[in-house]
A and B are shown apart, each in its own frame.
Chain A
């Protein structure tokens, strides 16, 4: 009983601290916002992991990222005079339900294709491509502007999907496509000149 009471006090203090951090974040305090997001991220990993035990770690992390972006986008809806956790948990519940719908729709939209070897008779498809100078490629990538370099690293080197890369970099899918297109054109120019 005493232990339960202490937990309640601890929980209340934690909620007050998060509410204070959120109020400061709404006022534009970046330091408070970092603290809030770090604290919330750890809690979200626990909550999502517990509620979605069947998901792989990376899928849990995807959901956590979705919730963080939603929290950020909806931060004006937080009433500073109300407790923080019910507000956050309502977003979590909603985003988890959205995630479950996406998860359920996923297999229905996938088409299973048998993994057959496919070969073509054309000569160019059976010719080993000449491998360029990897060091020159590395230097050319490093010389790209930051946004283009980041797009190439995420999409081409780390083979992230457009959606993952957009979430990680904070840019839109369209902007990533443009950056990748420009980066590829710049690399082609540089390496063929």
Chain B
């Protein structure tokens, strides 16, 4: 067995090639965010930006929601990339919590206000499949880019890593879909937009062990 280990050492050393150390999670998240926002912008323009986009910029609730979603995306991307770096502080996992809390709190507060205003008898969750489709389309390239970037790191916590990656991509998808869809009904946003984002997280978490494995990393290094 020791002889086998020696052979592994010889083989690894013989085949060693220069590798460029990965940039810090912050820099990689910034690069991901730049590419993803360009794509999300292109999707919004292609699917036609909502007509009232200028007037919604004066709506503080909308602006806070969009900024919180964007910051959640950036923070979740940074945390996801950091989880693939051995020895990186786990405190970074707390980073997305604040913008996520602001995002969910903002939408939740709007839901409560609507409930109080229109009463439970008029409260109905209408079907808005286009919201789901636009969120998924806008989040598609950010998702693929995130998976590719995560696969370059070490699969230390595959489920958690991909769940954070899914949150990052979903948050940017939500950001894009809110620029397209003119509906501001809070319950629609909660169920069809944020529900889609959380569904994406859950799927990503379940897929983690298949997409991020030591075996695939070792084979890629050979």
Contact = CB atoms under 8 A, between A and B. Distances in A.
Interface of A: 25-30, 33-34, 37-38, 41, 57-58, 61-62, 64-66, 68-70, 72-80, 82, 86-91, 94-95, 98, 164, 167-170, 172
B14 A30 contact: yes
Given A70-B218, A74-B153, A168-B4, A37 B12 contact: yes
Contacts of A66: 214
A61 to B, nearest CB: 4
A90 B13 CA distance: 22
A61 B5 contact: yes
Contact of B1 (A41, A61, A87, A89): A61
27 contacts: A27-B18, A28-B18, A37-B9, A37-B13, A38-B9, A61-B4, A62-B1, A65-B5, A65-B8, A66-B214, A68-B8, A70-B214, A73-B217, A73-B221, A76-B22, A77-B86, A77-B154, A78-B21, A78-B86, A87-B87, A94-B154, A98-B214, A164-B4, A167-B4, A168-B7, A170-B8, A170-B15
A72 B16 CA distance: 9
A98 B213 CA distance: 11
A77 B84 contact: yes
A20 B10 CA distance: 20
A160 B42 CA distance: 55
A143 B84 CA distance: 46
Contacts of B21: 26, 76-80
Contacts of A30: 13-14, 16
Interface of B: 1-2, 4-5, 7-22, 24, 84-88, 152-154, 156, 214, 217-222
Q: Is the interface of A mostly helix, strand, loop or mixed?
A: helix
Given A33-B13, A68-B9, A68-B12, A73 B214 contact: yes
Given A73-B217, A79-B85, A57 B12 contact: no
B10 to A, nearest CB: 8
Contacts of B19: 26, 75-76
Nearest to A22: B21
Given A30-B16, A73-B220, 8 more contacts: A58-B1, A61-B2, A65-B8, A68-B5, A74-B217, A77-B152, A77-B153, A79-B21
